[in-house]
Structure 1
Amino acid sequence: MLDIAKSRNLYHRYICDFLGPRRLDIEDDHYDAIACCGAFSQGHLKDDCFPELIRIVKPGGLICIAMREEFLHTVEAYRGKLEPAMVALERKGCWERMARNIVPKYFREKDGVVFMYRVLAQ
């Protein structure tokens, strides 16, 4: 995908890295928004990436996470962990939840859940 994007010369910078607790080579408060669709799944991102997402989004910016709702209960890395981690960061004043919506038939017959957070000034 990066090669395709590069061939179209659409962006100033192309990054291939792992998103997790380690600091990315991206400035603080750099992006207006981040959208994650399909990034939270078995063997994919974990809740330890939330502080890094918050760090690279400008205060007032949005972080949208869309995923299959069942993964909140069936994926070991998320069961009883993902939403509590979101709430903990909200209580710390890092972000505020704007929405948590269930989307019927998000993937075939499976429902989805979309979280929308606004990053707060640190």
Structure 2
Amino acid sequence: GPNRLDIEDNTYGGAVATGCFLEGHAKQDCFLEIIRVVKPGGVLVFQLNKTGLSKSYLAGFEDTLKAHEDDKLWTLVKKEFVPKLLGNEDGLRYVYRIN
């Protein structure tokens, strides 16, 4: 979120998050911190449980992803539908390269 991690800039070659970005959990404002600590050229992979998200949350989430892409903070490498990501619940997987 809005809190700065006690980690130097450009520390990690990549980051993975699954089960983090849900209503009531980590918010999309965390992405700026993840971008800061991942080295340019590094990869961020995260997954969302699509079933448990409201349309308004998902729309706001997509807006944030697009804004970071428009600001050239990252580049979308892949977005894919994941059937039965968690039990019978479908999900989405995103892969971004940090710029």
TM-score range, shorter chain: over 0.9
Corresponding residue of 1:45: 26
- 8 Å Cα contact 1:41-1:75 kept in structure 2: no
Q: Look up the SS of the partner of 2:77 in the other structure.
A: strand
Give ranges in structure 1 of 5+ residues lacking alignment: 1-19
Corresponding residue of 1:111: 90
Residues 29-51 of structure 1 deviation map (CA, whole Å, 9 limit, x = unaligned) = 00001000111123111111111
CA distance in 2, matches of 1:93, 1:68: 26
Is 2:52 aligned against 1:66? no
Superposed structure 1 runs of 4+ greater than 6 Å apart? none
- 8 Å Cα contact 2:49-2:85 kept in structure 1: yes
Residues matched between the structures, number: 99
CA distance in 1, matches of 2:51, 2:36: 28
Q: CA deviation at 1:21?
A: 1.7
Residues 9-57 of structure 1 deviation map (CA, whole Å, 9 limit, x = unaligned) = xxxxxxxxxxx12211100000001000111123111111111100000
Q: CA deviation at 1:80?
A: 1.7
Equivalent position amino acid for 1:108 in 2: G
Q: CA deviation at 1:75?
A: 7.1
Higher strand share: 2
CA distance in 2, matches of 1:75, 1:43: 15
TM-score by length of 1: 0.76
Higher Cα radius of gyration: 1
- 8 Å Cα contact 1:27-1:56 kept in structure 2: yes
Corresponding residue of 1:31: 12
Equivalent position amino acid for 2:72 in 1: G
Give ranges in structure 2 of 5+ residues lacking alignment: none
